[in-house]
Amino acid sequence: MGAFKVGHASAKDKVVLVMGATGTGKSRLAVDLAAHFGGEIINSDKMQVYAGLDVVTNKVIDEERAGIPHHLLGSVPPDAEFSAVDFRREATLAVESILRRGRLPILAGGSNSFVEELVDGGGWEFRRRYECCFLWVDVHLPVLHQFVAERVDRMVERGLVKEVRQLFDPEVADYTRGIRRAIGVPELDRYLRAEAASAGDEAARARLLEAAIDEIKANNCKLTCCQLQKIHRLSTLAGWNMSKLDATEVFRRKGKEADEAWEAQVAIPSIQLVAKFLQQAKVEEEKKMVMAVANSKAAASVDMVNVVPPAPAAAAVVGAMV
């Protein structure tokens, strides 16, 4: 499908928001939608906005991006403070930029506090300017927790510990600022301190590492629960009409069968929902244009009545009476 075109200035521009707990496939769906509708993606994950720790924060890799432009991904210095208000400002600028190029803005990420601030913060300015389509990718928690734990193991294989070691500074124990807040960083503190000091034997350090990895898994599972609680709350608020897509079966399958389940249960239904969302916008705009033309013709008819001269017969009677 071709690029999404911005409608008439009188209509609200359209924005798609992909939500869900960590690990549910939000980035994958955002790329699918962007490829189909000619869109660009704005990251709404509060840790992925920071530069660095690509494995720890599980940033979408170049191959997975499929050539789709991504905004607010690894663009903030690691030690900077980046609040929800900062996100609202920068995400709004990104939306404006994408729309000016005739593309469809698609936000994707698990930081629901960022998304809520964008949509409802700032005196509801975003809602006044844009119409939102909310897609919620959901996975049953037991299935998701197993996947998240296995994903941590894969992240360790890809270099998670090495990434954190490069960032580690024994003189800095503040894990409340910047990218150091990311799950996977504070959990490795004890292990890396023991490693740096050569404290204990190799077996003791191995136990510390194993305990740290288990803690990372547990904290990721806790995060999914917190994210789901927030999504459930948002879904009850006015204007947050979320379309829920159950991706559980995708995570129960492997290989080709998982891809087929993704297409059938997540990708295609989402494309249909977004197409309907955009088509409704087109129909509404066409109705407004028709009404505007009708009103213009009606006004012109009234003006014509006001300037029509008297009928010839009436004019003759007046002349005879003089």
- Is 1 within a domain? no
Domain containing 125 equals 13-140+222-284
Number of structural domains (the chain) is: 1
The answer to the question of residue 188 being in a domain is no
Q: What is the pLDDT of residues 223-277, one digit of tens each?
A: 999 999 999 999 999 999 999 999 999 999 999 999 999 999 999 999 999 999 9
Interval 53-102: pLDDT, tens: 999 999 999 999 999 999 999 999 999 999 999 999 999 999 999 999 99
Q: Tell me: pLDDT of 297 over 70.
A: no
Residues in the chain, overall count: 322
Q: Which pLDDT score, from 0 to 100, does residue 11 have?
A: 77
Determine the average pLDDT of the residues in 9-29: 91
CATH code where residue 253 lies: 3.40.50.300
Calculate the alpha carbon distances from 100 to 88, 105, 129 in Å: 18, 10, 14
For the cut 80, the answer to whether the pLDDT of residue 320 exceeds it is: no
Rounded CA separation 199/180 (Å):
24
Q: 150 with 142: CB under 8 angstroms?
A: no
- Span 180-198, pLDDT tens digits: 999 999 999 999 999 998 8
Flag whether 41 is in a domain. yes
With respect to residue 55, please indicate whether it lies within any of the assigned structural domains: yes
Q: Does 245 reside within a domain?
A: yes
Q: Is residue 236 part of a domain?
A: yes
Within a domain: residue 187?
no
Would residue 28 count as lying in a domain? Answer: yes
For residue 74, give the nearest of 95, 53, 90, 89 by alpha carbon: 53
Please name which of 33, 25, 45, 62 lies closest in space to residue 118, comparing C-alpha atoms: 45
